[in-house]
């Protein structure tokens, strides 16, 4: 296991960690499909550091719209793990499924009211883009359609504080799945707008979706957030860290005698926010947090032989 001693992490936080008045907000938005592993926890901590260091509120949103993959009790375990590391949130968690309601408007009524936005990730080849009405009527007899964005080849530019200016083609992403559930790309944009999120810190694996989500944000008439897509935690083969890579969640690590303080030390060292033998705490990490010194390489996690940064 990790050959790293436990620290005496403090749960205290300085005034910057608990400002009384803030403009805008950052967020962490896990899906309750499994325990958070070290990479998830590291991203959550970075999102907290980005928000607190810029005097923003920090919110937790549980993205549970994909009910087929949601596991009972996981959201509570995720919150418990984040709390164990000392990560604090403002207000109660927002649960996506709690902020939806049934709508009985016809497509015609919606189309007359406004043009709608949409979202998803792998690029859509345009198979159904130019179907005739007769084609659509025929296909509806055997399958309910999803609703997809007609981007018409639009391009969108975002600015990421770690990756700079990025311009990408907007994808014809799904807006509403064929089971009637709002699709991820639309839901995440609507919820960010609704919550006043103006800072999005998340893993680099979501960078390809950013331009399309920014496009949807503009379609809704809102300003783009500040983006920061942070390096991932990966296994020794360079693939995104997963539970199959060994003991990588707080409950699994606890079985090997690693306390939350020890895990926090591991993550802090991966971010170069604590030195050997130093006590580690979130307020101490916040005082040292410097965007210009943030490691830009993936964090390689070796559960059986310690940890190292870089590839």
Up-side HSE of residue 235: CA atoms within 13 Å toward CB? 14
**Which residue in 86, 39, 26, 90 sits closest to 283, CA to CA?**
86
**pLDDT tens for each residue of 19-36:** 444 468 999 999 999 999
**Domain-located, residue 293:** yes
Range name among 30-34, 35-39, 110-114, 131-135 with the lowest pLDDT average: 110-114
Residue 246 has pLDDT above 50, yes or no: yes
Which pLDDT score, from 0 to 100, does residue 53 have?
Answer: 95
Q: Are 266 and 307 in contact (CB under 8 A)?
A: yes
Domain of 229: which CATH number?
3.40.50.620
**Domain-located, residue 164:** no
Range name among 133-137, 230-234, 249-253 with the lowest pLDDT average: 133-137
Q: Are 121 and 91 in contact (CB under 8 A)?
A: no
Give dist(CA 208, CA 117) in Å, integer: 18
Give dist(CA 122, CA 172) in Å, integer: 9
**Domain-located, residue 177:** no
- Residue 98, number of CB atoms within 10 A of its CB: 10
Which pLDDT score, from 0 to 100, does residue 89 have?
Answer: 95
**pLDDT tens for each residue of 185-233:** 999 999 999 899 999 999 999 999 999 999 999 988 899 999 999 999 9
Range name among 137-141, 218-222, 224-228, 261-265 with the lowest pLDDT average: 137-141
**Domain-located, residue 285:** yes
Which pLDDT score, from 0 to 100, does residue 198 have?
Answer: 96
Give dist(CA 276, CA 83) in Å, integer: 24
Q: Which of helix, strand or coil describes residue 228?
A: strand
**Domain-located, residue 269:** yes
Which pLDDT score, from 0 to 100, does residue 67 have?
Answer: 61
Which two tokens mark 76? 């509570």
**Domain-located, residue 155:** no
**Domain-located, residue 119:** no
Give dist(CA 198, CA 186) in Å, integer: 16
Average pLDDT on 230-239 reads: 92
Which pLDDT score, from 0 to 100, does residue 193 have?
Answer: 92
Average pLDDT on 264-281 reads: 90
Give dist(CA 158, CA 211) in Å, integer: 6
Which pLDDT score, from 0 to 100, does residue 212 have?
Answer: 95
Provide the number of structural domains found in the chain: 1
Q: Residue 180's pLDDT band (boundaries 50, 70, 90)? A: confident
With a pLDDT cut of 70, the percent of the chain lying above it is 80
Give dist(CA 188, CA 295) in Å, integer: 27
Average pLDDT on 90-106 reads: 64
**Domain-located, residue 93:** yes
Q: Residue 277's pLDDT band (boundaries 50, 70, 90)? A: confident
**Enclosing domain of residue 299:** 23-101+182-309
Give dist(CA 45, CA 260) in Å, integer: 13
Instruction: Write the CA distances from 48 to 101, 216, 283, integer angstroms.
Output: 30, 25, 11
Please calculate the CA angle 26-32-35 and round it to the nearest 5 degrees: 100
Residue 118 has pLDDT above 60, yes or no: no
Residue 281 has pLDDT above 50, yes or no: yes
- Residue 91, number of CB atoms within 10 A of its CB: 11
Which two tokens mark 253? 């690590």
């Amino acid at each position: 296991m990790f050959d790293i001693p436990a620290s005496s992490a403090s749960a205290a936080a300085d005034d910057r960690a608990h400002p009384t008045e803030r403009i805008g907000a950052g967020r962490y938005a896990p899906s309750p499909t499994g325990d958070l592993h070290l990479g998830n926890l590291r991203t959550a901590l970075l999102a907290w550091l980005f928000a607190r260091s810029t005097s923003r509120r920090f919110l937790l949103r549980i993205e549970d719209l994909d009910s087929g993959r949601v596991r009972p009790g996981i959201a509570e375990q995720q919150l418990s793990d984040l709390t164990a590391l000392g990560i604090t949130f403002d207000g109660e968690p927002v649960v996506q499924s709690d902020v939806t309601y049934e709508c009985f408007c016809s497509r015609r009524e919606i189309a007359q009211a406004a043009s709608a936005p949409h979202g998803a990730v792998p690029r859509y080849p345009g198979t159904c883009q130019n179907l005739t009405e007769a084609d659509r009527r025929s296909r509806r007899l055997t399958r309910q359609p999803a609703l997809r964005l007609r981007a018409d080849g639009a391009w969108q530019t975002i600015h990421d504080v770690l990756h700079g200016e990025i311009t990408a083609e907007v994808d014809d992403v799904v807006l509403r799945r064929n089971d009637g559930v709002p699709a991820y790309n639309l839901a995440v944009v609507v919820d960010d707008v609704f919550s006043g999120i103006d800072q999005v810190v998340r893993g680099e694996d979501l960078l390809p979706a950013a331009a399309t989500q920014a496009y949807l944000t503009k379609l809704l008439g809102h300003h783009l957030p500040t983006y920061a897509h942070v390096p991932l935690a990966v296994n020794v083969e360079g693939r995104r860290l997963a539970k199959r890579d060994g003991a990588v969640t707080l409950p699994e690590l606890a079985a090997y005698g690693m306390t939350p303080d020890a895990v926090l030390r591991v993550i802090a060292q991966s971010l170069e926010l604590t030195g050997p033998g130093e006590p580690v705490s979130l307020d101490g990490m916040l005082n040292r947090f410097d965007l210009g010194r943030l490691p830009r390489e993936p964090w390689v996690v070796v559960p059986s032989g310690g940890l190292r940064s870089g590839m």
